[in-house]
Structure 1
Amino acid sequence: MTSLGPDLTTAVHREVVDVHGVPASALVAEAARPQAVIVALHGGATTSAYFDHPGHPRLSLLRTAAATGFTVIAIDRPGYGSSARYEERMRKPEQRTDFAFAAVEALLAGLERGVGVFVWAHSAGCELTVRMASDPRGAELLGVELAGMGRIHHPRAVRAMEEWRRDPTRTRPNLRRALWHPPHAYPPDVHGGRTIGSASPSYEGHREGWQEEFAQLAARVPVPVHLTLAEHEQVWANGPEGLADLASMFTGAPRVVRHEQAGAGHNTSVGRTALAYHLSVLSFVEECALGVRALPTEKGKPG
């Protein structure tokens, strides 16, 4: 019988490279003669396994992208994976940005790159991606995907924080329920992230002034940007308004595409609609690899 979907049997292996005396770990899926390379950056409290959930190849970005002609390197972000014991060397944003660029170069040594590198990030991983893309070195990127992030919090998250500020004796709001809402958007053994969970480095708990800095950095991103918010997102303001606000920040990007992933919760790459989400963004990666540019009238409008 002929398969109607991508071949998801591509081997995924773990690599560890040295970055100035600090080990950097990643999951790698290689495509034969790749069109381009995708560097995937996971969110908070997880690892690169977010992009290749154990036991669920259909949800795997690495396997899907490799099947469509892209090599994928899912890096354990600074302070995660093999670099977790070196947190004191990751406290400053510039240290983490330099670490990420150096890790990509080390992991790609000896591998075909196709026409270049595209960075695909989720949630807290979007901070590092925006820093990389707005850095002078980021001008060489093909483009970026930013999923599960925003500037304005979802009304439910805002209410929870306001209630806590009025009564600090209450338990500080736990975003876990919002991050994994609704339960039916995920396979039962995936919901909650127990299999792919990880301790977070302390720097992720200190982001004062990030919203203002984010706006400044976003305006300096010179490459095409794809933005994804889930239909059931409850951490960040979603829907057309949330996407429009986020897109308005990337004033220097030649193309900004907005996408709402139907049926998804915050964790778009491990939900039931992960394959649909991955294929949607991979079409954008393909366009970036081919050098597709939007007409002037398209810039900043829904893709």
Structure 2
Amino acid sequence: MATETTLQPFDFARDPFATKQRGLWEMAFQRLIRNRLAFVSAIILIFITVLAISAQLVPFIERHDATVQQYAVVNEGPSSEYWLGTDILGRDMWARLLYGTLFSLKIGLGTQLIVLLVGITIGMGAALGGKLSDTILMWFTDLAYAFPDLLAIILLRQVLFGRDWPIIGTGDPQIPGFPSAILGTILAISLVSWVTIARLVRGQMLSIKEQDYVLAARSIGASPWRVVRAHMLPNTLSTVIVSVTFGIPLAIFAEGALGFIGLGVPSPYTSLGALMGDGYAYLFVNNWLVVWPAIMVAILMLCFTFLGDGLRDALDPRTRK
């Protein structure tokens, strides 16, 4: 006589996938450490970030105020007193380079934070919604993708987030250490840069939601939010993290282009792009004004690129050893 079996409810508090997921992230971190180029790049980025932040807190590191004008030492070359020389107004280039690097990093990280939120939201809405929402959101994504990036950023920065805009465009700080003009730059770049992550999230989730482990979780009574949070998002994050890592230097480069043509951070604030734009007019008088910020931009872009390559290899299951 066959015995009747009763299905017991699944205990989500003891989800074995949680332990498995932590193991995968731990292995990815170990593979990243073994990638010497990516590991050294991460160390350099941490060092530059800590140095730029510390310069605003410890006067010894900054040596001279980045905004103080000293007309007796205009356009001096590197020396023991001014390590990287001075600009056309006698301001210390070492202090201004650290100051500009900090603001460029704020713009890069702030941009990717907004891109991450917008991209994941639209990508999830397209993948998990119905056919109508997928069509509408992807049509909107394709429309945003059709505009040239730099041209769209310039238009948004000047028209929607211009300096005369009552909230974003004013020069007064809205957040301590974060002037509203930088918020306008971040928003302008973010509204153009979210398309890639939205497409990646949509593609990944469309593939993942048909996998056996997702179907099994649904069959045992897992709620849609539980399936998304415990299974779909963790398996999408690896691709998103790599995309964000590559997006940070692109945002810094976009801000540099805006600063170079005079649409970036207004005075007395500065960024790496603004430093290059200010120094370009005096390139044949004092080429150090362009060399130092250009070197810093190159270092940041190379380090983020190498780190992104390392993260891509570490998080790719096909490269596991």
After TM superposition, the score normalised by the length of structure 2 is 0.21
* Higher RCO (C-alpha under 8 Å, 6+ residues apart): 2
Structure (1 or 2) with the greater strand fraction: 1
- Name the structure where helix makes up a greater proportion of residues: 2
